[in-house]
Structure 1
Amino acid sequence: MKIIRIGTRDSELALWQANTVKNKLEALGYKSELVPVKSTGDLVLDKPLYELGITGIFTKTLDVAMLKGEVDIAVHSMKDVPTALPKGIVQAAVLERAATEDILVFKGNTSFLEGEGTIATGSLRRKAQWLNRYPDHKVVDLRGNVNTRMQKLEDNNWNGAVFAKAGLERINLKPENNIALDWMVPAPAQGAMLVVAMENDDFCREALAKLNDEATEICTRIEREFLRVLEGGCTAPIGALAEIEGDEISFKGVLFSLDGKRKIEVEETLALKDAESFGKRSALEVLNNGGKELMEEIKSKI
């Protein structure tokens, strides 16, 4: 039987994710091995992500390794994956989603929330939402994998930093001193893991189909469709969350200006059977509601 070579970034979180897929495949009787690869996003830490001008900076290296035939499949945090996959590579499985929300890891106490404070994040989405809620705060750039960012928070005199709850929980790094930011709309597909394979690799696609979680796949598809229609290939402060409850699906999407002062949002609940193109319709609503001009402004500033 073919050994499935699993491409992964070499950070602790990425390896945890890849090992999760490896264990699930082996439980089904498949043989697999990990092939860790360093990505440009992990190597260049002195520039904000949007300045590097590459969508999919964390996925590109693994895409190349797959296209060259060095690995068979690749495991990603789904929120890092561009909405358009490279030619020849397809979505093969979305694993059951973990927590979707962001959390604030703070130092000392939270009295700074009442006055002035400095918060660290490398995400335009988190920055815009933070400034929308706390306009007197300063937001500084924070890059690197989860462990690096946690260490930088420790080493600097910032009040706190924003992280995805799922990432910290997966590698047991979530400290006591955290607050759930239930008001912050997460990144599209946050908390979900995506496995991609080559389009012509029936063996791997068949194996991975067995790991697919349908509810997570539906929700992330809607969120990423919302992102794709709004974004047009540029990084912008966009949040989206779809949730299934019984036979209904609710969706919330937001677009912010870079300074967080302007916010365009859409919120709707539909019957699950009517969810086709839900993300696209929601994005068009935002675009028609001032989002088109706001996106043009964001593109001119980044």
Structure 2
Amino acid sequence: DKIKDSQLYNIDAKGIFTKELDTALIDGDIDFAVHSFKDLPSELNDQLTITAIPKREAINEVLISNYTWDELPENATLGTSSVRREAFCKFHGKKVQTKPIRGNIDTRIRKVEEGQYDATIMALAGINRLGLQDHVKEIFDETYIVPPAGQGALAVMTNKDSEYNDIISKLNDENSRIEALTEKAILETIGVGCQWPIGIISKVDGNNINIHCKLLSPEGKLLADVNETTKKNEAIDTAKAIGIKLREDTL
């Protein structure tokens, strides 16, 4: 986290969290890289491939605070650098003052516990991976604060011609891969990146996949609420169609 004095949406964020490791891959300094799937740029380097997406972690958002969500006082200071989280707070009628918060998970939790912020909202996946569940005040239903595309998923990147691809591909969970790529396809087709508050969920159910997408304005106004079910093998085409409709009808 080298750029600490600016909101993420004021930075050219395309690949900002993955570029250094991708360069190391291309240069042969490392054999594979593990990224948070939601941090991947829309277009991958031609030399690289997503060799595996392991089984997905929880996709929910959580509240880190001494207050419950209902107890959060008016004008409480919410630490977030996410336009999506800020917009969902407004959508649910929370009159909070948002301030940028940066740093790793431990740092952000510490800043809340020290009183620099009244609360922050984070991904449950990272909390679970670090075993920090005791710091969670409340877990939001995934349809209440809809997570970003790919939340909870990891992407294992390699060079396309890597000798380790067969081994690493064994880490892949096919349903998690379909879900993550479906959500990413909607975001890519809309073309809004981090600039608009959008939450996207897809869940495989047998041979089908259920897709939920909620788009807000930065002020928290509901612009679109999409729910569709399609066959797994039609997921990407359906996702692109959803993205096109949202772009043409809403943005």
Once superposed, what is the RMSD of the aligned Cα atoms? 1.9
Aligned to 1:56: 15
Aligned partner of residue 25 in structure 2, secondary structure: helix
Aligned to 1:185: 146
What TM-score, normalized by structure 2, do the two folds share?
0.91
User: Structure 1 residues 173, 123: closer, same or farther in 2, change over 3 A?
Assistant: same
CA distance in 2 between counterparts of 1:118 and 1:112 reads: 13
CA distance in 2 between counterparts of 1:140 and 1:148 reads: 15
User: Structure 1 residues 234, 141: closer, same or farther in 2, change over 3 A?
Assistant: closer
Query: After the TM superposition, which segments of 4 or more aligned residues of structure 1 sit over 6 Å from their partners?
Result: none
Aligned partner of residue 96 in structure 1, secondary structure: coil
Among residues 14, 20, 29, which one is paired with 1:70 in the alignment?
A: 29
Unaligned runs of 5+ in 1: 1-41, 293-302
What is the identity, as a one-letter code, of the residue corresponding to 1:245? D
- Note the alpha carbon deviations across 1:101-144, whole angstroms, 9 max, x for none: 10111114555447442221121211111121134222221111
Give 1:276 shift: 3.9
- Note the alpha carbon deviations across 1:229-263, whole angstroms, 9 max, x for none: 11255643221110012222100112222222243
Aligned partner of residue 260 in structure 1, secondary structure: coil
What is the identity, as a one-letter code, of the residue corresponding to 1:186? P
Alignment identity in percent? Answer: 31
Q: Is the CA contact (8 Å cut-off) linking 1:118 and 1:159 kept in structure 2?
A: yes
Unaligned runs of 5+ in 2: none
CA distance in 2 between counterparts of 1:158 and 1:263 reads: 30
CA distance in 2 between counterparts of 1:190 and 1:149 reads: 18
User: Structure 1 residues 110, 253: closer, same or farther in 2, change over 3 A?
Assistant: closer
Q: Report which structure shows greater RCO (CA 8 Å, sep ≥6).
A: 2
Aligned to 1:162: 121
CA distance in 1 between counterparts of 2:35 and 2:203 reads: 21
Rg comparison, structure with higher value = 1
What is the identity, as a one-letter code, of the residue corresponding to 1:87? D
CA distance in 2 between counterparts of 1:48 and 1:209 reads: 36
Alignment of 1:33-112 (within 5 A): 42-112=1-71
Give 1:47 shift: 1.6
Aligned partner of residue 175 in structure 1, secondary structure: helix
CA distance in 2 between counterparts of 1:157 and 1:200 reads: 48
Aligned to 2:176: 216
User: Structure 1 residues 199, 177: closer, same or farther in 2, change over 3 A?
Assistant: closer
CA distance in 2 between counterparts of 1:150 and 1:240 reads: 25
CA distance in 2 between counterparts of 1:154 and 1:176 reads: 9
Aligned partner of residue 108 in structure 2, secondary structure: helix
Among residues 230, 240, 246, which one is paired with 1:280 in the alignment?
A: 240
Quick check: which one's helix share is greater?
Answer: 1
CA distance in 2 between counterparts of 1:177 and 1:200 reads: 42
Aligned to 1:268: 228
Say whether 1:258 aligns with 2:218.
yes
Say whether 1:207 aligns with 2:161.
no
Give 1:222 shift: 0.5
Aligned partner of residue 230 in structure 2, secondary structure: strand
- Note the alpha carbon deviations across 1:22-69, whole angstroms, 9 max, x for none: xxxxxxxxxxxxxxxxxxxx1222221122213121111111111222
Aligned to 2:249: 289
Q: Is the CA contact (8 Å cut-off) linking 2:183 and 2:200 kept in structure 1?
A: yes
What is the identity, as a one-letter code, of the residue corresponding to 1:236? W
Aligned residues: 249
What is the identity, as a one-letter code, of the residue corresponding to 2:148? A
What is the identity, as a one-letter code, of the residue corresponding to 2:176? T
Aligned partner of residue 207 in structure 1, secondary structure: helix
